[in-house]
Amino acid sequence: MEKLVIEGGNRLTGEVSVSGSKNASLPIMAATILAEGGYTLENVPDLRDVRTLCKLLNLLNIETDLRNNQLVLRNSGGDAFEAPYELVKTMRASILVLGPLLAKRKRARVSLPGGCAIGERPVDQHIKALKLMGAKIEIEHGYIVAECEKLIGTDIYFDLVTVTGTENIMMAAAGAKGVTTIYNAAIEPEVVDLGNFLMKMGVKIEGLGTKTVKIYGSDNLIATDYKVMNDRIEAATLICAAAITKGDILLKGVPIDCLTTVIDKFLEIGINIEVLGENVIRVSADKRLDAADITTQVYPGFPTDLQAQFMALMTVAKGVSVITENIFENRFMHVAELKRMGADIRLKDRSAIVRGVERLSGAHVMASDLRASASLVLAGLIADGETHVHRIYHLDRGYEKFDEKLNKLGAKIKRVENGE
Ligand code: EPZ
């Protein structure tokens, strides 16, 4: 396995671009199950989760070729319908093939994703909705085994806001007979990007981006081309990297209008953000940041996917920050690791109380999940001495060449095999 060895104390300066969105690419890739033919997707990030989903689509008779962020797919149809445990266990977003497989091939056998470091993450809402649309679904030997004559559009009321649940049902509804109305839908920008792609495939959708979305099923969906949106979480993580090192960078390709809540919070703690043009911002920090509280919420609230990165900033801020995680029940795996670097953090119920310290010290730390690994890298950028972030495959799942991007800005990060 690989680790990153980070030499702390280097200020980030220069220019870097944001990559395409992982969480928009994955559902859009799954949606290609809905229609045979050729697709060209631009701005697809070359990262582990995308590569894993390509492997899964290959098993479903969809050829994939990802080169220089362009993903060409060819869906030759057929009736393959299985998403095996070996692939699903490495990427829970594989659940996104369930809806389109049922809509198009009337059968699906998808391994239950199982839990992950940040929580149990059940898929009961996905299953409940598909049953309402006419699917027969059993759980057998750790697999979701589903079949249907034809999915039928209906009204779906989600008990809670679920991003991939909303996405799965939008895709199922696209291939269903009649109209599906989703109430309490997720409104994350990545859900909207999927909706825009489905509309290009010929699906009629009303209310996209609101909590009530109406999808008109169609039997005449067509393969099409599309440019995926940029990654708002990567953009915000790069802002954190510039800020924590008191650097001064130019960030291009920032989906600013998806980050209003986040940018507002960054300004509150003392980060200087100047909008220089279409999706271009200048980010700098010339003094110790101020502490501030956050509570993670569904969009447009402060995103849970930025909670760990924000915490890294707060470990060396002036004052006390209360960070409350409302979305996942166990998304504080980075706390113990940050404390090994000298952070002063106390957990209480769903909150972490972070008392800013003057300095962190480099240490050997263990990445546990995608955003926790980013948090540890951020801490390593400013810790005294060397920080070794182990199990860096977690970072590679969701960030495209993140260490290379930081090195281009002046960080000193080595990627080494550590024979684990
Ligand atoms: C998506 O996960 C993202 N992944 C996550 O990003 C993100 O953290 C999450 O949304 C929240 O924004 C992708 O888009 C591929 P949810 P998802 O269903 O859809 C509970 C990253 O870092 N729930 O919105 O799995 C669930 O346990 C990843 O890129 C149910 O109880 O999240 C959680 O507590 C991590 N039953 C809450 O809802 C269900 O059927 C929100 O989960 C579904 C969800």
| pLDDT class of 118 with cuts at 50, 70, 90 | confident
Rounded to the nearest angstrom, the distance between the alpha carbon of 246 and the centre of ligand 1 is 32
Please check the confidence at residue 98 and state whether its pLDDT lies above 90.
Answer: yes
What is residue 115's predicted lDDT score, i.e. its pLDDT? 66
Average pLDDT of the residues in 117-144: 93
| pLDDT class of 273 with cuts at 50, 70, 90 | very high
Rounded to the nearest angstrom, the distance between the alpha carbon of 74 and the centre of ligand 1 is 29
Architecture of domain 2-19+230-417: Alpha-beta prism (3.65)
Residue type, 334: H
Return the closest-CA partner of residue 143 out of 79, 88, 102: 88
Classify domain 22-227 at the CATH superfamily level.
Answer: Enolpyruvate transferase domain (3.65.10.10)
Average pLDDT of the residues in 10-15: 98
Q: Which of 56-60, 110-114, 364-368, 372-376 has the lowest mean pLDDT?
A: 110-114
What is residue 258's predicted lDDT score, i.e. its pLDDT? 97
For ligand 1, pick from 116, 164, 307 the residue to mutate: most ligand atoms within 8 Å of CB: 164
What is residue 35's predicted lDDT score, i.e. its pLDDT? 98
Average pLDDT of the residues in 257-285: 97
Residue type, 247: G
Coil, strand, or helix at residue 183? strand
The mean of the pLDDT values for the chain is 96
| pLDDT class of 283 with cuts at 50, 70, 90 | very high
Q: Identify the H or E element spanning 76.
A: none
Beta bridge partners of 386: 7
Q: Is the dihedral of CA 120, 126, 131, 132 positive or negative?
A: positive
What is residue 418's predicted lDDT score, i.e. its pLDDT? 82
What percentage of the chain reaches a pLDDT higher than 90?
94
Ligand 1 atom index nearest CA of 128: 40
For ligand 1, pick from 44, 137, 327 the residue to mutate: most ligand atoms within 8 Å of CB: 327
Catalytic residue set: 116
Please check the confidence at residue 335 and state whether its pLDDT lies above 90.
Answer: yes
CATH 3.65.10.10 residue ranges of the chain are: 2-19+230-417, 22-227
Could you tell me which residues come within 8 angstroms of residue 323 by beta carbon, excluding any fewer than 6 positions away? 293, 294, 307, 310, 311, 314, 351, 352, 353, 354
> In 198-262, which ranges are E strands?
204-206, 212-216, 226-227, 248-252
Rounded to the nearest angstrom, the distance between the alpha carbon of 381 and the centre of ligand 1 is 29
DSSP letter (8 states) at residue 119? B
